[in-house]
Amino acid sequence: MNKTKLGIKKEPALGHKKLLVLGYVWPEPNSSAAGSHMLSLIQFFLNQGYQITYASPAQRGEHKIDLTQLGVEEVPIQLNSCSFDELLITLNPDTVLFDRFMLEEQFGWRVTKHCPNAIKILDTEDLHCLRQARQAAFKRHQKHKDRPFTLDDLHCDVAKREIAAIFRCDLTLVISDYEIDLLQEHFKVPEQLLFHCPFMLEMNTHSASGIDYQDRQYFISIGNFRHEPNWDAVLWLKQSIWPLIRQQLPKAELHIYGAYPPPKATQLHNPKQGFLVKGWAEDAKQVMENAKVCLAPLRFGAGIKGKLAEAMWCGTPNVTTNLGMEGMHMGKPWPGYITELTHSIDLKQHAKDFAVKAVELYQNQTSWQQYQSLGYELLIANFDKELIQQKLASRLNSIGLGLIKHRNDNFIGQMLQHHHLKSTQYMSQWIEAKNKLI
């Protein structure tokens, strides 16, 4: 992957600070918003003068970028292996970044044991407990017409694991302001352990799209097929929403893009219906910029949506649900139409509402142009890389200068760290010993 194409510049090292990133996956910025966000964080630490090692136990995907082009060392690691201890001792990092709570669970105790003075940062990407609880509630309601999602659904094992990991770390990066509020108000996580870190976009390089309304022809939906909310959105489009749109716009096309489409997705491809499953887009911005309207009918999920940020960047207004725009508008007018998805509304009626708004936006040039301008304004207000990175650098510097007090003020974290160190350490060592006998 060409690093110039990614809009990333390799910066010279400014110091000798060391960062170890423990990745849940190898970054694929052209496949998912999580990959793009991780790449932004890597660029931030490079600009701060860090020497970076990216380590992951995951298999390398076909769309993985080559981090070595940026001067980042890539190291494959194993679960439940003392070889990771040797890596820690050799690197002796000043900072460790865990990519999602599962990596903190697996490797956090080893970091605490061998690098007790390293600042530990957790990047949530989205709150997994919120996404999974919403998905379970939606599926339950769809099947049994049971009660809707409530905050009581968050009192599950995933939440207990995820919140514990947040307390054990010195700082947690949270991508959504809604999730910041949820963590503070519902789970009582102290403000000093959290940092609101949405998408960091190069707004100083952004320019308005040169492709006008009349030159755009199709609807678009885009998202990694391995992400369950995206797959559910595609199915809902196919089964309920798109037929209603085609009744009013019989020549319209919907182009479906996304990495790793399974056979069950490609089988939905139907040119006669204008439902075109395109799969992987090598240049997502190009296909987005040529689309007239972005459709994101998300019925569950968490975090914020890369597809909608990309649509705004490309000057493509959108139609989405209240869950789709959650955590993104931050009080600013939304650059498109929103349908309110609640369990009190019939899904057939919601599909009709979504289709009506999609057709209206597709046909109304005046509204379309107004929403395009609002999209540019929202990006500048909420996702300016320079402003976010200045705040993040300041927070990390403050934590580093007062790390002992910062940790002493987090007694719950110390308590969880103590028990986690014992229980997880012994379980991991037992698995390691067992593996040696196989």
* Domain spans in the chain, listed from the N-terminal domain onward: 17-200+385-437, 204-382
Helix (H, G, I), strand (E, B) or coil at 17: strand
pLDDT, average across residues 276-289? 94
pLDDT, average across residues 95-106? 96
Phi, psi of 201 (to 5 degrees): -110, 145
Q: Which CATH architecture has domain 204-382?
A: 3-Layer(aba) Sandwich (3.40)
Q: What is the pLDDT of residue 190?
A: 97
Q: What is the pLDDT of residue 4?
A: 35
The domains spanning 17-200+385-437 and 204-382 adopt the same CATH topology: yes
Strands 119-123 and 218-222, bridge-based pairing:
unpaired
Q: What is the pLDDT of residue 7?
A: 40
**Buried b or exposed e, range 238-249, using 16+ CB within 10 angstroms:** bebbbebbbeeb
Helix (H, G, I), strand (E, B) or coil at 163: helix
Under a CB-based contact definition with an 8 Å cutoff, are residues 378 and 332 in contact? Answer: yes
Q: What is the pLDDT of residue 13?
A: 41
Between 56 and 16, whose confidence is greater? 56
Is the pLDDT confidence value at 219 over 60?
Answer: yes
H or E stretch covering 47: helix 33-47
Which has the closest alpha carbon to 182: 159, 158, 156?
Answer: 159
- The region of weakest confidence among 35-39, 149-153, 339-343, 423-427 is 423-427
Tokens 């309304």 appear where? 213
* 433: Cβ contacts below 8 Å, ≥ 6 apart: none
Which has the closest alpha carbon to 247: 145, 352, 120?
Answer: 352
Return the sign of the alpha-carbon dihedral for residues 86, 92, 98, 101: positive
Residues 55-58: contacts with CB within 8 Å, 24+ apart?
Answer: 55/20, 55/21, 55/22, 55/23, 55/84, 55/87, 56/22, 56/23, 56/24, 56/25, 56/26, 56/99, 57/106, 58/23, 58/24, 58/25, 58/26
Per-residue pLDDT of 351-384, as tens digits, reads 999 999 999 999 999 999 999 999 999 999 999 9
Per-residue pLDDT of 387-436, as tens digits, reads 999 999 999 999 999 999 999 999 999 999 887 766 666 666 666 666 66
Per-residue pLDDT of 27-56, as tens digits, reads 999 888 999 999 999 999 999 999 999 999
AA identity, residue 298: L
Q: What is the pLDDT of residue 349?
A: 86
Above pLDDT 70, what percent of the chain?
A: 91
Mean pLDDT of the chain, nearest integer: 91
Is the pLDDT confidence value at 5 over 70?
Answer: no
Is the pLDDT confidence value at 12 over 50?
Answer: no
Q: What is the pLDDT of residue 10?
A: 41
Q: How far apart are CA 47 and CA 42, in angstroms?
A: 9
* 117: Cβ contacts below 8 Å, ≥ 6 apart: 403
Residue 3, Cβ density class (10 Å: 0-12 exposed, 13-18 middle, ≥19 buried) = middle
Q: What is the pLDDT of residue 149?
A: 81
Tokens of 177: 């302001």
Per-residue pLDDT of 302-338, as tens digits, reads 999 999 999 999 999 999 999 999 999 999 999 999 9
Most confident of 7-11, 204-208, 429-433: 204-208
Q: What is the pLDDT of residue 31?
A: 86
Q: What is the pLDDT of residue 429?
A: 64
Q: What is the pLDDT of residue 2?
A: 37
Q: What is the pLDDT of residue 3?
A: 37
Is the pLDDT confidence value at 6 over 50?
Answer: no
Backbone dihedral region of 192: left (phi > 0), alpha (psi from -120 to 50 degrees) or beta? alpha
Is the pLDDT confidence value at 151 over 60?
Answer: yes
Q: Is pTM beyond 0.95 here?
A: no
Q: How far apart are CA 160 and CA 323, in angstroms?
A: 23
For 17-200+385-437, CATH number? 3.40.50.2000
Is the pLDDT confidence value at 196 over 60?
Answer: yes
